[in-house]
Each structure stands twice: as C-alpha cells, then as structure tokens.
Amino acid sequence: MVLAQGAPGPAERDRAGVLASGPAPARATLAAARAARIASLDRHLATLFATAVSGRPEPVPAPNDASPSRGAGVALVAVGSHARRELTPGGDLDLVLLHRGRGDVAEIADRIWYPLWDAGLRLDHSVRTVQEARTVAREDMKAALGLLAPRFLAGDRTLSNEVRAGVLADWRADARRRLGDLGALCRERWDAQGELAFLLEGDLKEAHGGLRDVQAMSAVAASWVAPGPDARVREAHDLLLDVRHALHETTGRTSDRLVLQEQEAVAAALGLLDANVLLRAVAEAARTITHAGDQIWRRVDRFVRPRTGRGGPERRPVGDGAVEQDGEVVLARGADPGDPALVLRVAAAAAQNGLPLAPATVDRLAEKAVLPGTPWPAEARDALVSLLGAGPAAIGVWEALDQAGLIVRLLPDWERVRNRPQRNPVHRFTVDRHLVETAAGAAALTREVARPDLLLVGALLHDVGKGWPGDHSVCGAVVARDVAARMGFPPDDVKVLETVVRYHLLLPETATRRDIDDPKTIETVLTAVGEAPGRERDVLELLAALAIADGRATGPAAWGSWKSRLVADLAHRALTSLAGGTLPPAPSLGPDTLALARHDGAAVRVQGSRITIAAPDRPGLLWRAAGVLALHRLAVRTARTVSQTSARVPTAVLDFTAVPEFGDPPDPAALESDFRRMLADRLDVADRLERRARSVRLRPGASVPPPRVTIVPDASATATVVEVRAHDRPGLLWRVGHALGECGLQVIAARVDTLGAEAVDTFYVVDAEGRPLGESAASVRAHVLTALG
C-alpha cells in the first residue's frame, strides 16, 4: 500500500481551514444581515429616544444626531454585542440611558424600554449619571467591560464621551487589580466551560477560545498592558460569530451551545460541506484565540506580579541557542538560523525548562530558520525526542510551533490530522491534540521501555492514519514508516515504529475481547510483534506503554483500572515468552582509538564532540572524567568503556560524545589540561562541582518521572549490572559514578546513552575483590537513588 506524501490537495484544504481565502457567500450574507439589523435597530432606538424626550412622536432623526433639542443632558448608548455591531438573532440588546440629573429621566426610560419589551426584544437596561456609571464600572466587571467601549445612539454625545473617557481612565489607573480580577474570572469560566477547540458541543461564547475571550483581550488592550487582537484573531472571532449567528438563525433559540443535532444545519447555513468541516473550522478558530490569549495573559501575569526593584530582564542560558528572558525562551545572540536543528532544539530547551517560547522568537524561527532536510540530522531527531520527553510542558511549546505553521513544515503529514474532530464522546481532543497529549503522557512511562525515543515518537504518530480513508492503523503504519525514515531512524527502528503504529490497539483490544488464559491469545500477540524480527521484546514493551498513554489521553471512559490490569497481564504473559531487548547500536572504537591504550601513561584526544581518554585503569576513572566534562558544561550523550588488558599496566579507554549545554564548546586545550590534572590527582573535581552547584539559581522545570535504578544480578557471569534510567541533566554521570564509588564498587564497563532527554545508562560493577554483588545490591540501589535526588 502506498500513500501519497506531502501537504493535502485543494479539496483537503477546503475541508480543513478557517476559510482563510475570505468569507464564503453564505458567511457574507450573515455579516450583511447583522449590519442591516444593527442599522435598523439604531434608527428605531433613535426614534424612540426622540419621542421619549419630547413626549410626542417625532420624525426619524439622522443617524447619530446629537441636537440639544433632542435630549440635552441625556443620551442613549449601546454596550455589549450591540455596541460592537455583533448582535446575532439570539443576542440581547444592552442599553444604558445616561443623564445629568434630569428629573424626568425615569419617564424617558419607560417610554424607551416598554415599546422594546412590547416588540418582544430581549433587553438589558440601566439608567446612570456619568459618576454612577464610573462607580458601577469600578465595582462590577461586566459593567466595566461594556462601558470601556460604549457606542453613542442618540441624545447628548458629550455624556457618552465623558463616560467612556472616565471609565477608561479608572480602568488604567487600577489596571493591576482589575486585570488580575479579569484573569481570575476568565479562568473560572474556562474551568466551567472547557476548551472550545476540543468540545463536541462547546459554548461558542463562554468556552475557552470562544467569543468572550476576544472581548477580554480587548479589555486588556484598553489598559495599554498588551496589544489588542491581531488580524488572525479577528478572523477567528468573525468565524465563530458567523457560526453563532447561523446557530441562532437555524434553531430559533438563544443558546450558544453548538449541540450535535444542530451541527449539520449550521454547516449548511454557512455553506460548509458537513458537520465535520464545521467542527474543524471551529477548532482552528478556537485554538487561534486560545493561543493568542495565552500570550496576552502571560504579559498580564508579569504586569500584575509584584515588582522586585531590579533592573532590566535577567537572561539565563537554558540550552544551546536558547536563553530565558523574563519568563520566556528567546534565541541566544549567536544562534544560527541556518542550523537545521535549531527550531526543535530551542523548543526542547523551552519545554525541558517548563517555559513558553517568546512569540517574537517563534515568528523569527518561522520566517528565518532552516528546517531539517531528508533525512533529518541526528541532532534534530534527538531534539524532537527531548521536546516530547518534557511531558505536559511540551504541549504549549508544540502549540506555539503549530500556530506558526512550523509543525506542518516539519511533518507534512500532520496537515491531515490537524484540528480533525473525532466526533466520539470518549475522545477529549481533536486527532492532532490527542497525539501530542499521548506523547506527553508517554514521557512518564519512559522508564518502562528500553527505547524511550521510539516510545515518544510512536506515541506522536500512533493515530496519524486517521487523516486517511480506511483502517487508521494500517494507513498509519505506512505513514509512520515514511516519517520515521525521513527523521533518519535506522531501518530496524523504522520497522519497530511501523509495527507499533500498526498494532497500537493490539493489547487493549485483545485483553478485553479474548481469553488471555488461552495459549492461542498469546500466540496471536507474538505473531503480530514478530513483524519486527529480533525486536519483539522492544515492540511489546512499547505497545504496553503506548496503550496506557493512549488510553489516558483519550479520556476516563477509555482507560480504567480494569483495562489496565488486563493489558498488563497480557503483556507480562507475552514478555515471558521472549528474552532480551536492544539499545541503539554502539559506536565502534576504531584502531586509532584503541591504539591510545598502548601507552602506559595517559593520553587525551579532543576532536570536536568526541573526547577519548586512555589511562591506567583505577577505581573512579569514569566518573572523575565525567566530572571534568560537567565542569566544562558539556552534556554527555554517549560513553563507552573498553579495557585493554594486553598492556603491561591494565589500561582503560573512555570514549565520550559530549556537546555544550549551551553556547560555544570549551577550548580543547583547557579541557585536555583539566583531564591531565585530574589524572595526576591535581584537580579536586568534587569540590569544583559542589561550588558550581551552590552558585546556580534553581528554578522548577518540566515535570519528569522519578529516576529508576535496577540491579540485574544474572545478566553477567563476572559482574553485576546496574541499570539507571533518569531524566538527563548536567553532571548525571558524575553523580551515579560517584555514588557507586562511595559504595566501594569499581565500574569495569559502562554504556551510557542519552535518548532525547532520557539517560539510559548501564554499568557493569564489581566489589573490591572483583566479584559480582551479593546481599549489598539493595543498599547500592538505594544509595544511587539518593544521589539522583
């Protein structure tokens, strides 16, 4: 089966977008109907006002006629949707009668309100002096939001101008308190209504990402704390307004909830193909509004935060090419837009530190950055895994890249699942958001599998086939194979990912529909995972972890303790039939590297990110060398140890791949000098690292699962295997090795790998007599866990 790759064609784009090419004829008709209704209402209200003021019928005045004869000291203004010219068929009129203490104002009000009620119009009304209006706006948030932008209808225009100017002045003078209150109200509303983009029956006005949020953004802009809604947000707002208009018109009701049974009629009224296209358009518009709102509310949070009295924004490196500034991640001054890994590396740095990407940085990356070609360089693939491995913190960063169009450029197949509704109450999210949520949830399960990188990427791609007709598992396997190959995974890993996506429903469906005591059930599972020969255990581990992440991301109805127990039992039974897993292939140590071990003394070679050390073997050599790398702010990506026993003095060869945590790499001469000082016992690595740790200001980063230390006593006849799984961080290898040394153990061989943000480290250790561990294994495990914090 072959699926065409790349961006969708015109037909697919027509189904997906927010009608970006401009209003369809049906939408233009709705906009024209609103404008005509507003104009008619304005004329009618002006006539009512003139009649009420004079006490007798008068000719219809010209629009916005402010003649003193028609109401000196009194004015009628509109607030809310009427003031914004956004009144839909089910919307309320919201009017304020302003006056300067006229004694007949009550009679004037009655002559306006009663005819409106008699006409069956829904009316929200009030009568205020200018000072009363300012007072109520200071005390009532709803009144304040309306009076920030009143629209004059009839009477004394100066009253309308005074109210608007006064309310705006009060709003800006008390902006810290008022914006804090507005933010709290918004969050309460979001908690109650949910996120419009992912609701099957969302409230177009009140849900997160709905029309009310755009009004809140305008209120923030009125305080001069942040800019108002931009063109993309206004376009999204207009789409939701048209949907609301069509909903009111087709149902004849005033509800703003887009319920399932009304969606086909609303889609037809908007000129859309069907309800799925409608939901996809609503999701795209709502996500645009939500993302823009998140940026604005971050600025508000900084504004209302108590001032520290310090100078300009503090800058702190958080990764290679990335700097934290004022609570956001921006590009470092020396960041190279031509680096194809830059976008993903900066995104990973933001997610790993629990920080958002600065909007200007995202815009610059979208405009200037070069994206990885085919196949991706290893650095880009590693950065993607690191981004996904940040867990929930990755979701907001991914959304920022998505809103800027970078995700579709990185993964063209993403277009087919972007904003795609699932129309199933079991699912909480659109297809694309479900994939990201699953990958974020899988980050908590990376300790359970031998290949956390394949788990995270498999989670990201497991439902990608839902963008194609037919069985999404079968289609998705083809897409996943092609995407994994473009990402640069080796062929064996590509086959594993293809198999995982093809059978991602195998364990939950088999566990809940078959008798797991029947040997035939286990045989069926093993036959499926056997499609990746030699990697069956890997596939089973990945499927078991993916089932958990997928179920949890789907929703509470899709995953519970009963299904969890069944899946775990099935996976355990299948795993007992298999043995061994695989790690990434070890880089070979060539003859030139092994030749270093012929020296009885010490030799150090620094070649870019490759650092090789040959020295007389002794306890602690590995972790002391790792400590020197940590001192130079180098993050260890791989480490291999090789013993050269043929030399007169037993010699160890340590081969590291290490990259800068941020900035430029250290001076090779300085690095080599420190290595030689360490080997000559003239460098106190522990003291230097301790002093550096005390000088670092800590801040919480992304939420990560706790480390895991496993003692594998039977994996070797001559040593005990200590397997460490942890979130990678500076000096991790030093901490583990130092802890093993404190236990009196010697590392005779080690294999250290960093897959994304996950460290997968294996140490072969012996005690002081050169024997495998015995009863002390449990205390060793506890000591290493303590060292990892």
Six-digit token string for 238:
């207009």
In a domain, 521, yes or no: yes
Task: Look at residue 421 and tell me if it is in a domain.
Answer: no
Domain boundary among the residues 555, 581, 607 is at 581
Q: What is the mean pLDDT of the chain?
A: 87
Please tell me the total number of residues recorded for the chain in this structure: 789
Report the run of H or E that residue 128 belongs to, with start and end. Answer: strand 123-129
Across the beta sheet with 328-331, what order do the strands follow? 315-319, 322-325, 328-331
Q: Are residues 488 and 604 in the same domain?
A: no
Q: Residue 674 has which token pair?
A: 């420190």
> From the DSSP assignment, how many helices (H) and strands (E) are in the chain?
31, 15
Q: Are residues 339 and 272 in the same domain?
A: no
DSSP 520-550: HHHHHHHHHHTTSTT-HHHHHHHHHHHHHHH
Give yes or no: residues 457 and 353 share one domain. Answer: no
8-state DSSP, 514: S
Mean pLDDT, range 535-550, rounded to an integer: 95
Claim to verify: residue 608 and residue 566 sit in the same structural domain: no
For the four alpha carbons of 754, 759, 762 and 766, in that order, the dihedral sign comes to: positive
Question: Which residues does 588 contact at the CB level (< 8 Å), separation at least 6?
Answer: none
Q: What is the pLDDT of residues 17-72, one digit of tens each?
A: 444 444 578 899 999 999 999 999 999 999 999 999 987 655 545 545 444 444 57
Average pLDDT of span 230-235: 96
Q: What is the per-residue pLDDT for 696?
A: 57
Same domain, 621 and 752: yes
Confidence of residue 586 (pLDDT cuts 50, 70, 90): very low
Average pLDDT rounded to a whole number, residues 131-136: 96
Residues 19 and 281: their CA atoms lie apart, in Å, by 8
Predicted pLDDT of residue 699:
58
Q: What is the pLDDT of residue 246?
A: 96
Are 673 and 606 members of one domain?
A: yes
Task: Quick: pLDDT tens for 162-181.
Answer: 999 999 999 999 999 999 99
Residue 522 and residue 459 in one domain: yes
DSSP-derived secondary structure for 134-183: HHHHHH-HHHHHHHTS-EEEEE-HHHHHHHHHHHHHHHHHTHHHHHHHHH
- pLDDT for 716 equals 75
Does 749 map to a domain?
yes
Q: What is the pLDDT of residue 13?
A: 40
Q: Could you give the number of structural domains in the chain?
A: 5
- Tabulate helix, strand, coil % of the chain (nearest 5): 55, 15, 35
The answer to whether residues 576 and 598 belong to one domain is no
Structure tokens, 199? 């609701």
Same domain membership, residue 682 and residue 770: yes
Grade residue 15 by pLDDT with cuts at 50, 70 and 90: very low
Do the domain assignments include residue 3? no
Query: Is 181 within a domain?
Result: no
Say what the pLDDT of residue 683 is.
86
Which residue blocks in 374-471 are alpha helix, DSSP H?
378-388, 393-403, 406-410, 431-442, 452-461
Question: Could you tell me if 379 and 472 lie in one domain?
Answer: no
More confident residue, 40 or 2: 40
Q: What are phi and psi of 442, to 5 degrees?
A: -65, -25
DSSP-derived secondary structure for 265-296: HHHHHTT-S-HHHHHHHHHHHHHHHHHHHHHH
φ and ψ of 208, to 5 deg: -65, 125
Contact 557, 426 (CB under 8 A): yes
- Whole-prediction pTM value? 0.85
- Could you tell me if residue 2 is inside a domain? no
Phi, psi of 458 (to 5 degrees): -60, -40
| Amino acid present at 270 | L
Of 581, 613, 635, the residue that ends a domain is 581
**Domain termination residue (choose one: 376, 410, 444):** 410
In order, the DSSP letters of 692-725 are: HHHHSPP------PPPEEEEETTS-SSSEEEEEE
Report pLDDT for 311: 54
The stretch 391-404 carries a mean pLDDT of 96
And the tokens for 442? 């899988």
d(CA 31, CA 242): 7
In-domain check, residue 141: yes
Tens digits of per-residue pLDDT, 453-512? 999 999 999 999 998 999 999 999 999 999 999 999 999 999 999 999 999 999 999 998
Query: With left for phi above 0 and alpha for psi between -120 and 50, is residue 271 left, alpha or beta?
Result: left
Cα gap 631→537, rounded to integer Å? 38
- Per the structure, the complete domain to which residue 280 belongs is given by 195-217+226-304
Assess contact for 76 and 113: CB atoms under 8 A. Answer: no
What pLDDT score does 9 carry?
A: 41
In a domain, 64, yes or no: yes
CB 657 within 8 A of CB 638: yes
Tens-digit pLDDT profile for residues 661-718: 777 788 888 888 888 888 888 888 888 887 776 665 555 566 678 899 998 877 777 8
Pick the closest to residue 570 from 500, 523, 533, 502 (CA basis). 523
DSSP letter assigned to residue 314: -
Alpha carbons 519 and 352: distance in angstroms, whole number: 44
Q: Cis omega before residue 115 (within 30°)?
A: no
278 lies in the same domain as 358: no
pLDDT for the residue 69: 45
The phi and psi torsions of 746 (rounded to 5 degrees) equal -115, 135
* 30/161 same-domain check: yes
Tell me the C-alpha distance between 460 and 500, whole Å.
Answer: 11
pLDDT score for 507: 95
Q: Report the C-alpha dihedral over residues 459, 463, 464, 467, rounded to 10 degrees.
A: -160
